Structure 1
Amino acid sequence: MKNKRWLLYLVVAIVLVVAFFLVRDRIHFDWHVFGEQLKLADWRRIGIGIALIWMAYGVRAVRWSVLLKPTKKVSPFKLVGSQVIGFTAVALFGRLADLVRPYLVAKRTKLPLSTQVGVYTVERMFDFGCLALIFSIVLLFSPDRANLPRPDLIHKAALGGLLATVALAVFAILARVSGKVVAGIVGKGLGVFSKSLGESASEKILGFRDGLNVIGSLGDFLAILTISVIHWLMIAYAYLEATKAFVAAPELANMTLARCMLLMAASMGSSMLQLPIIGWFTQIGLTSAAMTALFHVAPEPALGCGAVLLLVTFMSVIPLGLVWAQIEHVSLKQVSEESEHAGVESLTAPVQDAAE
């Protein structure tokens, strides 16, 4: 498995190097201008962006604590380290280290990993839902929405995102209240076309319902929703501060929240399949390309801003996480491998049990 993974990394690296040599003569890039853009940047704004991202890890710990309430009362302060170390592992080792956070929380709280994977799943559901909600509202009601690139398409996409968020919320409520009934209806409906597809869909809905059981009450749901919105607003303003720091580039210095939402979507989309080390450069490249394509930013400030955005939103946690890991005597490489192995066992255990 590891050999195949490193083969994938090697292939991606070769493709990137070849792509660079193919396009380098077509792009007029001035490294002196690039250096001046970084030199003139307002590093106070960049510092504010990093502070917002760091505080967001604390907010995540509060949300995880609320999600744990039906199972065990745990102080958010006990969970901050797991969040910081977990995101440090992702920054260094890619998305394969995503299970480090639930794995560390399970060890710290002495709760089964399967329950923490359920918490992680619900956390992600709130992340996607609240992010889509914020994107949609900002893009639909922003004062400068008419000046966005392709406003007609953006309006349709934002409206579709809002409707999809509402549909997800309705489905989640139905699954939480009557998951067995919903699973039966969907299973029978899809079973007309394929019995295995119907059974698989039914099992996934029941698993989704079990994950939602970590939400203890309506009050907890509203608390988690509020915390999630605050969390993503903090991240959005971290993006905005880091972008507006490039005062020598008018397109970036005058960035609005609506425009920043488009840039944030491009940046986060490029990070979905994050690979170790290589992913840093692909994310910078794709984010910079989005700035140039959407807002006509020159290549030099676009590349500088892309690198700073990666630093602020993704890599700034690394020094903090490395120190925290030393304090808690955690080996990042070891815990990444253990969490991946334990996560596979946790997910396959129910299947094995059912077979027996």
Structure 2
Amino acid sequence: MKKAKPKTSARTMTVLAAVLLLVAAGLWWAWRRGLTFDVHSVLRQLHGVAWWHIAAGILCIYGSYVVRGYRWSVFMRRQRSIGPFFLLGPQFTGFTAVAIFGRIADLSRPYLVARKAQVSLPSQIAVYTVERMFDLGAAALIFSSALAFTPATMPHHEIFVRVGVVSLAGTLFLAGFAVAIRLAGIRLAAVLGRMGTRLSPKLGVAVQEKVLAFRDGLQGIGSVGVAAWAGVLSLFQWLLIALSYVQTVHAFAAEPTLRSLSFASTMLLMGASIGSSLLQLPVLGWFTQIGATAGSMHAFYGTPLETATACGTLLLIVNILCIVPAGLICARQDGVSLTDLKARSETAEEAAV
């Protein structure tokens, strides 16, 4: 256990150095292109925001956490029957830990659920794996459908439609792959394991174990009806998240490129934001996410950098940081230390790996 921490620290430092290099490269590129940036203009943009849109976006995000907690209880029905709001606290606290410490605290939610529901941690890591698969499928379905059916008047229409069709095909492939694992997971794990062994024996074993773990998680769901209901909840949850992006963007009513931005166009921002958060680091990840969304707005829609940065800042607050107050309250009520929770998440990650 003690040997794992230096590896984690070294990995974090490597990612941090890579991010700093990317930031430096971005600043150098902006300087060479002659781009300017006015901090006072960003503050003026924030002053002119329609705050009722921001409140609506935060409401959508909190609603998505409620749905997420209920969906987790649906995944757990074969282990233990619990109420729809029983796991709301672990969701709030877990995502607060992620907002503060980055993705290294992502497995804090399985630990918190196992602690509160008094079930085994491995069973909740399996639920977490299945949850992420449903998240990926629902988010990709909404994203790809929005792009595949973009209006012809939208800039770069053909590119967006092509990306949407490819993404939709990938989503359907993942769904078919999940069904194949559910029906013939042992044989599929053996085949994929042999394929991985040709490259590396360790890789073959790892692939086989991951497929079997995912199969166990899918079998824990139960009937097809339960899986279908979880799919509906996943779509509803991600629709709420997508609407939070729309509300936040429309809060900038004084900016022509944002005030009437369509749902499909806003999905590009959601994709950029989610992509930049996959390797989210403590605190620094906030700025990389702001930069990713601001850069997307400026590149795709011609939004001024100052306005795009102000919008990216509010997107971060609405979608990531707004959960922190509720998470701190839940952590205090449940007697959970966030520092200890980070260590627990690292331990769970090592066990999962």
TM-score between the two structures when normalised by the length of structure 2: 0.91
Equivalent residue, structure 1, for 2:227 = 221
1:280 paired with 2:286, answer yes
**Given the superposition, is the C-alpha separation of residues 5 and 167 from structure 1 closer, same or farther in structure 2, using an over 3 Å criterion?**
closer
**CA–CA distance in structure 2, aligned partners of residues 16 and 141 of structure 1:** 34
Task: Select 1:116's aligned residue among 124, 129, 134.
Answer: 124
Please say if residues 249 and 258 of structure 2, whose CA atoms lie closer than 8 Å, have aligned partners that are also in contact: yes
1:52 paired with 2:56, answer no
1:75 paired with 2:75, answer no
Q: Which shows bigger deviation, 177-186 or 271-280? A: 177-186
**Given the superposition, is the C-alpha separation of residues 21 and 290 from structure 1 closer, same or farther in structure 2, using an over 3 Å criterion?**
closer
**CA–CA distance in structure 2, aligned partners of residues 338 and 196 of structure 1:** 26
Amino acid at match of 1:75: G
**CA–CA distance in structure 2, aligned partners of residues 44 and 77 of structure 1:** 27
Task: Select 2:10's aligned residue among 4, 7, 11.
Answer: 4
1:203-222 equivalences in 2 (<5 Å): 203-222=209-228
1:308 paired with 2:314, answer yes
Q: CA deviation at 1:215?
A: 1.1
Gaps of 5+ in 1: 349-356
**CA–CA distance in structure 1, aligned partners of residues 197 and 14 of structure 2:** 36
Q: CA deviation at 1:321?
A: 1.0
Amino acid at match of 2:142: I
**CA–CA distance in structure 2, aligned partners of residues 150 and 29 of structure 1:** 26
**Given the superposition, is the C-alpha separation of residues 292 and 113 from structure 1 closer, same or farther in structure 2, using an over 3 Å criterion?**
same
Amino acid at match of 1:64: W
Equivalent residue, structure 2, for 1:353 = none
Task: Select 2:111's aligned residue among 96, 103, 112.
Answer: 103
**Given the superposition, is the C-alpha separation of residues 336 and 189 from structure 1 closer, same or farther in structure 2, using an over 3 Å criterion?**
closer
Q: Number of paired residues?
A: 345
Equivalent residue, structure 1, for 2:3 = none
Amino acid at match of 1:231: Q
Task: Select 1:41's aligned residue among 49, 63, 66.
Answer: 49
1:172-211 equivalences in 2 (<5 Å): 172-188=178-194, 197-211=203-217
Equivalent residue, structure 2, for 1:260 = 266
Amino acid at match of 1:226: V
**Given the superposition, is the C-alpha separation of residues 105 and 248 from structure 1 closer, same or farther in structure 2, using an over 3 Å criterion?**
same
Equivalent residue, structure 2, for 1:323 = 329
1:89 paired with 2:94, answer no
Q: CA deviation at 1:124?
A: 0.3
**CA–CA distance in structure 1, aligned partners of residues 173 and 19 of structure 2:** 40
Q: CA deviation at 1:157?
A: 1.8
Please say if residues 191 and 198 of structure 1, whose CA atoms lie closer than 8 Å, have aligned partners that are also in contact: yes
Q: CA deviation at 1:76?
A: 2.5
Amino acid at match of 1:68: M
Please say if residues 82 and 104 of structure 1, whose CA atoms lie closer than 8 Å, have aligned partners that are also in contact: yes
**CA–CA distance in structure 2, aligned partners of residues 221 and 69 of structure 1:** 11
**Given the superposition, is the C-alpha separation of residues 264 and 197 from structure 1 closer, same or farther in structure 2, using an over 3 Å criterion?**
same
Q: CA deviation at 1:135?
A: 1.1
**CA–CA distance in structure 1, aligned partners of residues 46 and 203 of structure 2:** 53
Please say if residues 113 and 343 of structure 1, whose CA atoms lie closer than 8 Å, have aligned partners that are also in contact: no
Amino acid at match of 1:203: E
Equivalent residue, structure 2, for 1:347 = 352
**CA–CA distance in structure 2, aligned partners of residues 97 and 196 of structure 1:** 26
**CA–CA distance in structure 2, aligned partners of residues 175 and 347 of structure 1:** 19
1:162 paired with 2:168, answer yes
Tell me how large the CA RMSD over aligned residues is.
2.2
**CA–CA distance in structure 2, aligned partners of residues 187 and 93 of structure 1:** 34
**Given the superposition, is the C-alpha separation of residues 78 and 15 from structure 1 closer, same or farther in structure 2, using an over 3 Å criterion?**
same
Q: CA deviation at 1:156?
A: 2.0
Q: CA deviation at 1:205?
A: 2.0
**CA–CA distance in structure 2, aligned partners of residues 176 and 6 of structure 1:** 35
Task: Select 2:134's aligned residue among 126, 133, 138.
Answer: 126
SS at structure 2 position matched to 1:147:
coil
Per-residue CA shift, 1:257-292, capped at 9, x if unaligned?
Answer: 000011111111111110000111111111101100
**CA–CA distance in structure 2, aligned partners of residues 335 and 242 of structure 1:** 31
**CA–CA distance in structure 2, aligned partners of residues 215 and 108 of structure 1:** 20
**CA–CA distance in structure 2, aligned partners of residues 256 and 343 of structure 1:** 39
**Given the superposition, is the C-alpha separation of residues 24 and 318 from structure 1 closer, same or farther in structure 2, using an over 3 Å criterion?**
farther
**Given the superposition, is the C-alpha separation of residues 189 and 270 from structure 1 closer, same or farther in structure 2, using an over 3 Å criterion?**
closer
Q: CA deviation at 1:342?
A: 3.5
**CA–CA distance in structure 2, aligned partners of residues 47 and 16 of structure 1:** 33
**CA–CA distance in structure 1, aligned partners of residues 262 and 130 of structure 2:** 31
